[in-house]
């Protein structure tokens, strides 16, 4: 499984590609940051993020895209910028038919470090260890993107089993509901017989 992790942001949008399966060593295929100038017009910044993510999709051909789920903060302006960058990443993936998964920061931290309240230094250290890197990726946005990809690789099997169980349960409920309904009575078929089988008419005098 090859996953592109995206840590959304207007000024710095972290991106990282990790490949592997749960329970086995993982491999990093690339990590970086898509940057936009803070003084540029919002529309131009979003276009720049789109172009940057498209380049990563073209180069690495991921099977999944994992994006950090935007959560509420005190700085509304920061939240809006993060949400807009997140939407661009999801749009780029959806346009290519690539499945998108959203993970909260606490889910990512818990998956990578075992602590949902770990700080960025702890996340960077664990990413470095798990991917057998020489040093933590810089800036922190890049390490967070790799952590998102790792989180999805590890959580995807459990999520797929859960989705399959839910789908199977719905099918069973639908089948049970259908079986409990009485069979509808159909009116007898009184279709006229073919002319060759009809009784001959009496002759008139």
The pairing of strands 100-103 and 12-19 is unpaired
Active site amino acids: 7, 68, 141
CB of 60 closer than 8 Å to CB of 98: no
What is the three-state SS of 45-83? HHHHHHHHHHHHHHHHCCCEEEEECCCCCCCHHHHHHHH
CB of 67 closer than 8 Å to CB of 105: no
Q: E strand or H helix at 96, and its extent?
A: none
Q: Rounded to an integer, what distance in angstroms lies between the CA atom of residue 199 and that of residue 205? A: 19
Q: What is the DSSP letter of 17?
A: E
End-to-end CA gap in the chain: 91
């Amino acid at each position: 499984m090859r996953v592109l992790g995206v840590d959304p942001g207007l000024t710095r949008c972290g991106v990282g590609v990790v490949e592997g399966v749960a329970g086995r060593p993982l491999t990093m295929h690339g990590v970086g940051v898509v940057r936009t100038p803070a003084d540029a017009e919002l529309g131009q910044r979003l276009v720049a993020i789109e172009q940057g993510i498209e380049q990563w999709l073209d180069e690495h051909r991921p099977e999944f895209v994992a994006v950090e789920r935007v959560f509420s903060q005190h700085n509304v302006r920061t939240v809006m910028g993060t949400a807009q960058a997140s939407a661009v990443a999801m749009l780029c993936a959806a346009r290519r038919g690539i499945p998108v998964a959203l993970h909260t920061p606490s889910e990512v931290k818990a998956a990578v470090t075992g602590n949902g309240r770990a700080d960025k230094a702890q996340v960077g250290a664990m990413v470095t260890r798990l991917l057998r890197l020489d040093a933590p990726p810089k800036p922190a946005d890049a390490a967070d993107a790799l952590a998102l990809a790792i989180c999805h690789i590890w959580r995807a099997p459990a999520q797929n089993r859960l989705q399959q169980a839910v789908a199977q349960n719905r099918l069973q409920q639908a089948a049970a509901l259908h079986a409990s309904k009485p069979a509808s009575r159909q009116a007898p078929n009184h279709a006229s017989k073919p002319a060759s089988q009809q009784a001959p008419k009496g002759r008139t005098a």
